[in-house]
Amino acid sequence: MNFCHSKHWAWLIAIGCWGFYLEVHAEDALVRLPSNSVQEEQHIDAMRVHKAHHFEAKTHAVVSSSRSTVSPSSASLTAHPCAYESEIAKKPPFKTVSLTFDDGPSPERTEFILSVLEKYNIPASFFLIGEKVKKYPDLVEKIAKSGRHLIGNHSWQHPNFHDIDADQQEREIAQTQQAVQLYTAEKYFRYPYGNSTCESRDQLHHLGYKIVGWHIDSCDWAFDKTGSVSEHDAQICEVKAHNTSNFIEHTLDAIRERGGGIVLLHDIHPNTLKQLEALIVRLQREEFHFERLDSVDFEALLN
């Protein structure tokens, strides 16, 4: 055809084809994000165990509070007197959300999250694992250079602080802070699995840290493999029956019930990344707005 010889038409056709390619293959690009490593799968299994324990502990606490005597099961909850699940009881600012991402940085995934946040001009907070900060400094640099996001400490290797002694807890915090202080002067800490100890809490407060929990646990790890949660995981994550195959609706329902709040997400779960943009769009449509953890609205909610 004659128009094929026209540079003008060739250019327009090229642009049109490229746009069509991006639209058709956008989902494929997401699917091609790195799958979980063996270490990350072990991390998910550990999360499932801890969430089950937390659910059990809350159930026992409710039961024991209705009794006049202390039962053996409720007495066992005092083994870690400063332990807490990191769920914030204080009411969040109305119609205000703060997105937080744990367990990064991760190649391609962190970059993808940043691209979505950039597209919608959304601030967020990244709680980073120290050994990954050391391994992927370029990714931490990208988070810091955006000027929009907060960087927090999430320990060096993500251990359960209930299983390690006070000295090791201190090393987990200090070693990670040495790594992240190259990129930020801020001091925010989130416990692995949400499990704190008296020793580490005192240490963190002495060093001037803010300890960060959450209002909404998206339980994205439970949805990650198939997009649906098992009956067991639905119970411990408090996923309503009509949301067991709908990560976005589960998260939105939880946010609506609290009226907003700090949302726990994870860098390492492909399903979270695949649905992040849709979650943001839905929140914006419902007139939620986004702030960072160090905003006036959220600062008062941190320990």
- Residue 79: pLDDT band (50, 70, 90) is low
Closest CA to 105 of 124, 84, 85, 86: 124
In a shared domain, residues 281 and 164? yes
In a shared domain, residues 95 and 172? yes
The pLDDT tens digits for 156-197 are: 999 999 999 999 999 999 999 999 999 999 999 999 999 999
Q: How far apart are CA 174 and CA 168, in angstroms?
A: 10
Q: How far apart are CA 220 and CA 246, in angstroms?
A: 11
In a shared domain, residues 19 and 116? no
In a shared domain, residues 26 and 135? no
What radius of gyration, in Å, describes the C-alpha atoms of the chain? 21
Of 257 and 270, the one with more pLDDT: 257
Q: How far apart are CA 294 and CA 210, in angstroms?
A: 10
Residue 70 falls inside a structural domain: no
Residue 136 falls inside a structural domain: yes
In a shared domain, residues 106 and 222? yes
The pLDDT tens digits for 275-288 are: 999 999 999 999 99
In a shared domain, residues 107 and 213? yes
Residue 18 falls inside a structural domain: yes
Residue 187 and residue 177 in contact, taking contact as beta carbons nearer than 8 Å: yes
Residue 91 falls inside a structural domain: yes
| Domains in the chain, number | 2
The range of the structural domain enclosing residue 14 comes to 2-31
In a shared domain, residues 15 and 154? no
Closest CA to 101 of 245, 228, 280: 280
Residue 58 falls inside a structural domain: no
In a shared domain, residues 6 and 126? no
Strands of 144-214, DSSP E: 150-153, 188-189, 210-211
3-class SS of residue 124: strand
Residue 156 and residue 134 in contact, taking contact as beta carbons nearer than 8 Å: no
